[in-house]
Amino acid sequence: MTASLLHCETSEGSVDGQVIHDIFVIGGGINGCGVARDAAGRGYSVFLAEMNDLASGTSSGSTKLIHGGLRYLEYYEFRLVREALKEREVIWKNAPHIVWPMRFVLPVADGIRPPWLVRLGLFLYDYIGGRKLLPATRTLDMRRDPSGKPLKGLFKKAFEYSDCWVNDARLVVLNARDAVKRGAIVRTRTKVVSAERRGGLWHLTMEDMRTGVRSQARARLLVNASGPWIDEVLSSAVGQNDAHNVRLVQGSHIVIRKKFDDPRAYFFQNRDGRIIFAIPYETDYTLIGTTDRDYSGDPAKIHISEEETDYLCHAASEYFAQPVRREDIVWTYSAVRPLYDDGASKAQEATRDYVLRPDAPEGMAPRIDAFGGKITTYRRLAEHALEKIEGFLGKRGDPWTANGPLPGGDFPHDGYHEQVRRLREDYPFVRPVHAARLVRLYGTDARIILGSARSLEDLGRLFGSDLYQAEIDFLVEHEWATTAEDVLWRRTKMGLRLTVEEASILDEYMQGVERIRSAAG
């Protein structure tokens, strides 16, 4: 439909007393929340529905890097790599609490990729993305550099380069919070069971996954950002039979007790041509991953396979002097990447680029399907989606997210340690490790959690480690947390530190809170 037919001067209207939203977004992963935030900030009325918890699928199962994708250069994905490289510093500056620089050590291994080719790739990596803040690549003598100590003695040379680390699940939640701050409606545990075009409007039926209660919504435009479920949404909700647009690729990770003290991460090349990372994780652990293999099952039932576990242990043991064994593993996680099916022969060769496909029959409400993508380029995906949305609904505002801090990120990109110092100065009863964790997760919003407390007792019940009731209540009130799993494995990673008994007690508390909220309506 043309822009003139769909555009209206107000961002929200009504028919027969029912509100009509400009945009309805299906999917509460990074792409859906990114689109909702950008659109709400430009003045569109937005409704987002997620059938589970925010970031409960692909967006919390990444390797947790904001990176250009060095290996994508081998597949000539120059546009994607350049865009991703440019985004590193943008996202870092907008969320310096959950994003920070990390140096990566890439040992030169005989018989895999020649050193000159690796160095050429890193030269492009340094200079095609407009790098200003991150340090450039340098060459290391592994016989002298501390990064060589945890590795086998056969590695004599390495390259060290820059990328960034991100708390992926929190990036999603912060985008959702900012979208709501700017006027969007976000509903979790809400599944879209049907989406029907009736002329210039979408008529949607939603079901509350906890109560079974159904409700309706109307919108001028639909964005399908449902990740691994995108084809299922097209088939079951929209009615597009036999939809097949995405290639599901499983990526699994293992977490072990800290393997090395160096703050740098490792980039390991495997003899099968694939790569894995070994990354400092949550202070006391090392994250190792990822795998790449096609997946044909239910994305909701994804879990690491025995084969993947053996692969990661073996691949890491090829480099580390002390082998990685199954008994070293303290946690695993897996996710399905919904890559656009470009016909690539191998899972690791399928494009990580995103594809935005509009569907707008003449005289009918438009739909935009968002395929693929990676967490690094979510903001640019949203901007490109808004360009298409403007073509249908008319322009409301200019691009703004490049300079828009996410909640809690309103401090300088290099100001994390200063924020921790100030928090401890104002709340001297909070231990250094606790203060550091709060600022890492919440930035300046850590002060909302601590509030007027003058002692640890004022923070309420202690559930384990340094996880207090005040933090739990904040996550329930402001971040859609309804279960212990939401808290322990997505909003925080305190599941690594609480005992089974402590986690069970937290689960009971969350169920009680949910009952009270449900009774209150």
pLDDT tens by residue, 109-135:
887 888 998 999 999 999 999 899 999
**Where in 271-348 does DSSP place strands (E)?**
275-281, 285-289, 293-294, 329-340
**Strand, helix or coil at 514?**
helix
Residue 5 has what pLDDT? 30
Residue 104 has pLDDT above 80, yes or no: yes
* Tens digit of each residue's pLDDT (9 = 90 or more) over 33-53: 999 999 999 999 999 999 999
Can you give the pLDDT at residue 113? Answer: 86
The pair of structure tokens assigned to 214 is 């159904």
Q: How far apart are CA 59 and CA 68, in angstroms?
A: 17
Strand 246-257 with 293-294, pairing: antiparallel
What mean pLDDT comes out for the span 168-174?
98
Rounded to the nearest angstrom, the gap between the alpha carbon of residue 151 and the centroid of all alpha carbons in its chain is 30
CB 472 within 8 A of CB 487: yes
Task: Give the pLDDT confidence score for residue 16 in this predicted structure.
Answer: 58
∠45-487-456 over CA atoms, to 5°? Answer: 115
Report the Cα 186 to chain-centroid distance in Å.
17
Residues in contact with 331: Cβ distance below 8 Å, sequence separation at least 6, in sequence order: 254, 255, 495, 496
Sign of the alpha-carbon torsion through 420, 424, 427, 430: positive
Does residue 9 have a pLDDT over 60?
no
What is d(CA 327, CA 47) in angstroms, rounded to the nearest whole number? 45
Task: Give the residue among 411, 404, 289 at the shortest CA–CA distance from 37.
Answer: 404
User: Strand locations in 142-209, DSSP E?
Assistant: 157-166, 185-187, 190-198, 201-208
pLDDT at 293: 92
pLDDT tens per residue across span 71-81 = 888 878 899 99
Please, what is the end-to-end C-alpha distance for the chain in angstroms?
39
Both tokens of 413, joined, read: 């990109």
Tell me the per-residue pLDDT of 292-330, one tens digit each, with 9 for 90 and over.
Answer: 999 999 999 999 999 999 999 999 999 999 999 999 999
Round to whole Å and give the CA distance between 466 and 452.
18
C-alpha to C-alpha distance for 132 and 414, rounded to whole angstroms: 13
Residues 6+ apart with CB under 8 A from 16: none
The two three-digit tokens of residue 109, written as one number: 């291994």
Q: What percent of the chain has pLDDT over 90?
A: 83
- Tell me, rounded to whole angstroms, the distance of Cα 395 from its chain centroid: 28
Mean pLDDT of 375-399: 97
Tokens standing for 185?
């409606």
Amino acid at 219: A
Cα separation, 170 vs 98, in Å, equals 7
| Three-class DSSP category at 210 | coil
Q: pLDDT by residue (tens digit) across 211-221? A: 999 999 999 99
Of 439, 381, 276, 255, the closest CA to residue 330 belongs to 255
Whole-angstrom Cα distance, residue 96 to residue 450?
20
272's CB contacts (< 8 A; 6+ apart) are none
Q: Which of 486, 490, 491 is nearest to 507 (CA)?
A: 486
**Cβ-contact 160, 330 below 8 angstroms:** no
3 band by pLDDT with thresholds 50, 70 and 90: very low
Taking alpha carbons only, the member of 369, 363, 408, 364 closest to residue 388 is 369
- What's the rounded mean pLDDT across residues 273-280? 95
How far apart CA 151 and CA 112 sit, in angstroms, is: 17
CA angle 413, 418, 424 (to 5 degrees): 140
Average pLDDT, integer, range 44-73? 95
pLDDT at 146: 97
pLDDT exceeds cutoff 80 at 396: yes
As a whole number, mean pLDDT of residues 440-453 equals 98
Token match 């769909």: residue? 6
Looking at residue 236, what is its pLDDT? 84
Over residues 83-97, mean pLDDT: 97
User: Which three-class secondary structure state does DSSP give residue 104?
Assistant: strand
If you search the block for the tokens 């994804």, which residue do you land on?
302
Average pLDDT over the chain, rounded to whole? 93
Q: Percentage of the chain with pLDDT > 70?
A: 95
- Helix then strand count (H, E) for the chain reads 14, 21
pLDDT band at 348 (very low <50, low <70, confident <90, very high): low
Mean pLDDT of 332-354: 80
Burial label for 185, CB within 10 Å (0-12, 13-18, 19+), is: middle
DSSP lists the bridge partners of residue 468 as 462
pLDDT band, very low/low/confident/very high, at 185 (cuts 50, 70, 90): very high
Q: SS3 sequence, 457-487?
A: HHHCCEEECCEEHHHHHHHHHHCCCCCHHHH
d(CA 451, CA 432): 18
Q: What is the DSSP string of 347-358?
A: GGGS---EEEEE
Secondary structure class of 462 (helix, strand, coil)? strand
